[in-house]
Amino acid sequence: MAMLEINNINCFYGNVQALWDVSMNVGEGEIVALLGANGAGKTTLLNTVTGLVKPASGHVSFMGKSLDGVPVHSIMEMGIAYLPEGGRTFPDMSIRENLEMGAYPRSMWKTRKAGIDRMFELFPRLKERSKQMASTLSGGEKQMLAMARGLMSNPKLCLFDELSYGLAPIMVTEVFRIVQSLREDGITVLLVEQNVKQSMEIADRAYVLENGHIALEGPCCDLMDNSYVKKAYLGL
Q: What is the pTM of this model?
A: 0.91
Ordered DSSP codes for the chain? --SEEEEEEEEEETTEEEEEEEEEEE-TT-EEEEE--TTSSHHHHHHHHTTSS--SEEEEEETTEE-TT--HHHHHHTTEEEE-TT----TTSBHHHHHHHH--SHHHHTTHHHHHHHHHHH-HHHHHTTTSBGGGS-HHHHHHHHHHHHHTT--SEEEEE-TTTT--HHHHHHHHHHHHHHGGGT-EEEEEES-HHHHHHH-SEEEEEETTEEEEEEEHHHHTT-HHHHHHTS--
The pairs formed by 171-174 with CB atoms below 8 angstroms and a separation of 24 or more are 171/139, 171/140, 171/143, 172/198, 173/198, 174/140, 174/144
Cα dihedral sign, 201-206-210-216: positive
The pLDDT value recorded for residue 220 is 95
Q: What is the pLDDT of residues 45-54, one digit of tens each?
A: 999 999 999 9
CATH number for the domain formed by residue range(s) 1-79+186-236:
3.40.50.300
Low-confidence spans in the chain with pLDDT less than 70: 87, 105-107, 236
The pLDDT value recorded for residue 105 is 64
Instruction: Please state the domain extents for the chain.
Output: 1-79+186-236
The pLDDT value recorded for residue 214 is 96
The pLDDT value recorded for residue 236 is 63
